[in-house]
Structure 1
Amino acid sequence: MYRKIGSMKKISQFENQKVLVLGLARSGEAAARLLAKLGAIVTVNDGKPFDENPAAQSLLEEGIKVICGSHPLELLDEAFAYMVKNPGIPYANPMIEKALAKGIPVITEVELAYLISDAPIIGITGSNGKTTTTTMIADVLNQGGQSAHLSGNIGFPASEVAQSVSDQDTLVMELSSFQLMGVESFKPHIAVITNLMPTHLDYHGSFEDYVAAKWTIQNHMTAEDFLVLNFNQELAKELAQKTQASLVPFSSQEKVDGAYLEAGVLYFRGEAIMEAVDLGVPGSHNIENALAAIAVAKLSGVDNASIRETLSQFGGVKHRLQKLGSIDGVQFYNDSKSTNILATQKALSGFDNSRVILIAGGLDRGNEFDELVPDIAGLKAMVLLGESAPRLKRAADKAKVPYIEAKDVAQAAQLAFANASSGDVVLLSPANASWDMYKNFEIRGDEFIASYESLKGGEHG
């Protein structure tokens, strides 16, 4: 079977234009290289000093101008036609404020990806469940014989992936609110908003501004495009009135003209797709994620058998309620990505508490855990670690749950396993960020995976 190898669209809007790339990381590096390919005169500005900045060093070797170690405002006195900013840099940053004051358009690299992509885009955004839903969608499409490529906020810079795809492929793109604030003409063929909760308010300032950022995903969509919304939320029903896109709702609470849960079965527009209990990942939130994935799959023409097979075998995403396996009948789940209370509440919703030993704790942000008390009630035990352990002890006492303390995740895994019996679950779902002990949640999760492997290596019987 011959297929055209990706040949990105040749666009001329950046040719001989001066473009400033603000902030490197993987997306900035990809954007700088792409812009250079498109004939732009690129300057990269990154805060990290040049001698500690391998990305800047390799760009310089490729002939791209780099300014490192500080963000000199006078740089913006050059006549830049565009600024491409790293999504994590807030709009209150003086460089961005000055660019906007000078009328320089400020975009993110997902806009570049859209402009050059031959492949149609499925864009997924929302407060929780983005990565799981994005991964489910790509897996289902690929199982159904299509060619889906993960991109965006999931760790594969969109502007890099977009260069290597053809019109026979699909870009399945996870999008953060930060990325969506920097789009101008971006238009996915299918967009999914998993849910909208008050998060990142330190960046956006208000929930309204956060919702507005997410809502830009559908700004340019038409009736020929599909917007998949979570009708468990009243807010989504209100927003649904304000789009030109064709609406496809999903709900685990009511029958809707889309994907829904009824009597334990997942349906799409009256057609039974699969039993909810057959999903490979536990929890009510994963039913919502699966419904969103089913809606996209059906809109994309994937057959029911492929949907069933993919979603029943789906083992979760690394560090997001990831099933590691079992030792002597004790199951281990790595949910290191749960860095807040809501995420841990969702993780616990998928299990029988009386069989769960929960490992929790981490960075102390000053909050108590009173709202977690109803969710931890009835747990077999808790293993507590990190700065926030004293606050979690208070919650455990209120919930009348026994607890033990551990010095790190490795010891916590050992203690949890020592206190578990066949049929129990050891769940790492910290409800806290990792930075008191680990550089990021991935490293924390990797230590848990290594501890599981080591315990499994010493398995008896």
Structure 2
Amino acid sequence: MKNDDILKALDTRFSLNKQNSKVIVVGLGITGLSVAKFLHNLGLQFAMVDSRKNPPFNDELLAEMPDVAVFTDGFDPAVFDVATHIIVSPGVSMQEPIIQQTIARGARSLSDIDLFACAVDKPVVTITGSNGKSTVTTLLGDMAKAANKKVAVGGNLGIPALDLLNDEIEIYILELSSFQLERTSQLNAVAATVLNISADHMDRYANLDAYIEQKHKVYAGNGVMLINLDCPYAASIKPSNRDVLTFSLKGNADYCVIETANGRSLAFHGRAIFPVDKLLISGVHNQSNALAALALGAVIGLPETAMCAALGRFKGLKHRMQFVANINEVCWVNDSKATNVGACVAALQGFKDSSVVLIAGGDAKAADMSDLVSVLQEKVKALLLIGKDSQLIQQAVNDCIPVLDVGTLKKAVKKAQTIAQAGDTVLLSPACASLDQFANYKERGAQFVAEVKALEQ
């Protein structure tokens, strides 16, 4: 879209214009930087604010936009007082008092996704969920590429939505988090889904119902709603006057898994599409992810042959059930991206009984760790805990299996080597965020891989 058309949309939807608007962008991370570039390109007045003394993209911003005002090391009320609009990055809580006060006095709140929605005139697919959203987003992008579509993939995954904007793109595929959805009002995707919901980010939401409410915002607009019938929380949405598709691992949905003469198969309305045993991504949860990708791809007109070709090549994501090594007949698997209880449960369900030495722990985000108990009792022979909430987890699981608090990932790997026997799996699936000990889940996973590789030497 041309800048004049984008400015017209922003003025119509948010009364955001060059003449009368002063925008405060809160948070100078990767999303905040993308917002700054977007606003600067349109010639809109804005300033950047970050509570940190040295925000990660401060130098890059000043090099590219030296004329932009930047306020760091706290939130100065005088800066917020002049704002007509406020854009809060997903990593910053909307409950910050200064943000609440700014909105209460009349400043319009919007998000980077709102800006994106005002600047895009091509089909957009949006994907959220407690788990699996990165896998489905990436897989659907691969399917679109296999169909020779010019596709842009990002959002919460990798590249910020605003940095994806390009007139040559034919389809946009966005992964969206609850933090992005809670501050967004302009979504209207051609297809959207909530893959699943389990308790997550309970340190940011009053209760599970509040979290569910934010996830369901992905369905705003009038596009096709894809609903997972296997998840009561995801399926609790009540669509009205909307086109709806469903998926399930059972046989009661549009997209499901069926038994055929040649084994289990992904299917559409009972017609086999892709054999389950040809999937390179392991676990029942990944069968569900594959169904969701096939359904979303069908909505945007991707040929089934192209989608199946991409599905047959897809090996999954790094740090998500990633095979690392087989040492003395013990398999080592990196699932560092399992940052909540639901992801850890899904990972464990794919293993045989009592065969897993599990490494877990970190920042539990106020989640109820007792939800792990039943799957731990069934699948895990020993639990090795790391990170700041290790004692909380140990209390929650109440010694239902042998538990050792080892503190660090390095120590956990060494201890796991002494416990695991031939035929076992050592699984890093933390069920927690990583920020107490690592920069992110990727750094945590990379350290695990390095420590395991060192055992081979």
Structure 2 equivalent of residue 217 of structure 1: 218
Residues 252 and 97 (structure 1), Cα distance of their counterparts in 2 relative to 1, 3 Å cut:
same
| Aligned residues of 1:151 and 1:173 also touching (Cα < 8 A) | yes
- Determine the C-alpha separation between the residues in 1 that align with 2:212 and 2:392: 32
Structure 2 equivalent of residue 260 of structure 1: 256
Identify which of 229, 232, 248 aligns with 2:230. Answer: 232
Structure 1 equivalent of residue 120 of structure 2: 117
In the alignment, structure 1 residue 23 sits paired with structure 2 residue 23? no
Structure 2 equivalent of residue 375 of structure 1: 375
Structure 1: where are the runs of 5+ without partners?
A: 1-5
AA at the equivalent of 1:66:
V
| Aligned residues of 2:201 and 2:367 also touching (Cα < 8 A) | no
Structure 2 equivalent of residue 59 of structure 1: 61
- Secondary structure at 1:452's aligned position in 2? helix
In the alignment, structure 1 residue 83 sits paired with structure 2 residue 62? no
- Which segment is superposed worse, 425-434 or 29-38? 425-434
| Shift, 1:37, TM fit | 0.5
- Determine the C-alpha separation between the residues in 2 that align with 1:433 and 1:54: 20
| Aligned residues of 2:84 and 2:106 also touching (Cα < 8 A) | no
Structure 2 equivalent of residue 158 of structure 1: 161
- Secondary structure at 2:152's aligned position in 1? strand
| Aligned residues of 1:15 and 1:38 also touching (Cα < 8 A) | no
Identify which of 113, 137, 140 aligns with 1:137. Answer: 140
Structure 2 equivalent of residue 284 of structure 1: 284
Structure 2 equivalent of residue 298 of structure 1: 298
AA at the equivalent of 1:135:
T
- Secondary structure at 2:57's aligned position in 1? helix
In the alignment, structure 1 residue 173 sits paired with structure 2 residue 179? no
- Determine the C-alpha separation between the residues in 2 that align with 1:314 and 1:193: 21
AA at the equivalent of 1:250:
F
Matches within 5 A, 1:333-412: 333-363=333-363, 370-377=370-377, 379=379, 381-382=381-382, 384-386=384-386, 398-399=399-400, 406=406, 408-412=408-412
- Determine the C-alpha separation between the residues in 2 that align with 1:143 and 1:343: 28
- Determine the C-alpha separation between the residues in 2 that align with 1:370 and 1:411: 24
| Shift, 1:328, TM fit | 5.2
| Aligned residues of 1:339 and 1:434 also touching (Cα < 8 A) | yes
Residues 318 and 58 (structure 1), Cα distance of their counterparts in 2 relative to 1, 3 Å cut:
same
- Determine the C-alpha separation between the residues in 1 that align with 2:147 and 2:246: 22
Matches within 5 A, 1:180-199: 180-199=181-200
| Shift, 1:219, TM fit | 2.3
Structure 2 equivalent of residue 3 of structure 1: none
Residues 161 and 201 (structure 1), Cα distance of their counterparts in 2 relative to 1, 3 Å cut:
same
Matches within 5 A, 1:94-105: 94-105=97-108
| Shift, 1:101, TM fit | 1.7
Deviations 1:337-386 (A, max 9, x none): 22333322211101113443322344578988554333123557425142
AA at the equivalent of 1:335:
D
| Shift, 1:317, TM fit | 1.9
| Aligned residues of 1:255 and 1:261 also touching (Cα < 8 A) | no
| Shift, 1:31, TM fit | 0.1
Give the TM-score, by structure 1 length: 0.85
Aligned residues: 441
Structure 2: where are the runs of 5+ without partners?
A: none
Deviations 1:109-163 (A, max 9, x none): 011112112432110012222222212211222223223222111131111112x
Identify which of 6, 9, 25 aligns with 1:11. Answer: 6
Give the TM-score, by structure 2 length: 0.86
- Determine the C-alpha separation between the residues in 2 that align with 1:214 and 1:397: 31
- Determine the C-alpha separation between the residues in 2 that align with 1:236 and 1:109: 25
| Aligned residues of 2:93 and 2:204 also touching (Cα < 8 A) | yes
| Shift, 1:397, TM fit | 8.4
Deviations 1:276-308 (A, max 9, x none): 233222222222211111101222333334333
| Aligned residues of 1:386 and 1:437 also touching (Cα < 8 A) | no
Residues 204 and 383 (structure 1), Cα distance of their counterparts in 2 relative to 1, 3 Å cut:
closer
In the alignment, structure 1 residue 35 sits paired with structure 2 residue 33? no
Residues 346 and 8 (structure 1), Cα distance of their counterparts in 2 relative to 1, 3 Å cut:
farther
Matches within 5 A, 1:321-332: 321-327=321-327, 329-332=329-332
